[in-house]
Amino acid sequence: MSKLRLRPLVDAGLDCFDMADHYGDAELVMGKFRATSARRMTALTKWCPPENGDKLLEQAKKQLIVHSSA
């Protein structure tokens, strides 16, 4: 969902969004939208361990850094 498609939802009063890393770029879209909106919103997110079974938080943090700098 693009940040342009979020505008009507927020304008209608929706102010809480659920997302996760496996939903695609949801967190990135929400972050860009929140940076341009004066409305207060809540973004709930969660980390889903990869299918390779690696559940270590340190590995997740490393992946976040890699994806954030790309």
User: Which of 13-22, 40-49, 50-59 is modeled with the greatest confidence?
Assistant: 13-22
The rounded distance, in Å, linking the Cα atoms of 51 and 53 is: 5
Higher-pLDDT residue of 68, 23: 23
pLDDT at 61: 74
Q: Where are the domains of the chain?
A: 3-69
Threshold 0.85, pTM exceeds: no
Pick the residue with more confidence: 1 or 7?
A: 7
Sign of the dihedral through C-alpha 48, 2, 6, 36: positive
Angle (CA) 34 38 42, round 5°: 50
